């Protein structure tokens, strides 16, 4: 005769043996860990330049538009963002697992030329922040001799 503590519900025994369920859970854990690794990294950027402006594309997955701050000071650009990741898994109406991450990311770029902050623009779509930073016109460094 088996002890009551050693017996388990037949549904749980079948669920443990179900290979597709185990593969699905492993896939979800792997995707969540990948997201956490991305969130913990420094903000990745792509910087391009033309004669009038610099264009910065910054990858900010998991951030909301209201959680992103951009500051321009002279030739420095500061990007600050708060990112979140939530992974939940439900079974039969009871919560079995919930994983969360909340973190901050920061990046400072030093550009070779001053930026006109009054003309700068920012747009955030699908996890990518696009900054257009017009170059400030340089005053003439030469003084005309009369």
CATH 3.30.160.150 for domain 10-134: no
What confidence score (pLDDT) does residue 110 get?
93
pTM exceeds 0.75 for this model: no
Mark out the alpha helices in 18-112 (DSSP H runs).
19-40
Domain ranges of the chain: 10-134
What confidence score (pLDDT) does residue 34 get?
60
Tokens matching residue 30: 């792997």
What confidence score (pLDDT) does residue 43 get?
81
Q: How many angstroms separate the CA atoms of 79 and 35, rounded?
A: 20
Q: How many angstroms separate the CA atoms of 13 and 106, rounded?
A: 47
Mean pLDDT in runs of 10 for the chain (146 residues)? 56 59 67 59 86 93 87 91 70 65 82 90 93 82 68
């Amino acid at each position: 005769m088996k002890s009551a503590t050693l017996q388990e519900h037949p549904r749980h025994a079948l669920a443990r043996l179900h290979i597709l369920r185990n593969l699905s859970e492993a896939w979800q854990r792997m995707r969540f860990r990948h997201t956490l690794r991305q969130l913990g990294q420094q903000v990745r950027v792509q910087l391009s330049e033309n004669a009038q402006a610099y264009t910065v594309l910054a990858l900010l997955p998991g951030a909301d538009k209201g959680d992103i701050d951009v500051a321009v000071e002279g030739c420095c650009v500061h990007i600050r963002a708060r990112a979140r990741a939530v992974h939940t898994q439900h079974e039969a109406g009871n919560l079995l697992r919930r994983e969360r991450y909340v973190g901050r990311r920061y990046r400072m770029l030093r550009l070779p030329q001053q930026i006109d902050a009054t003309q700068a623009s920012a747009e955030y779509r699908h996890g990518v922040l696009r900054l257009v930073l017009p170059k400030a016109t340089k005053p003439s460094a030469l003084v005309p001799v009369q």
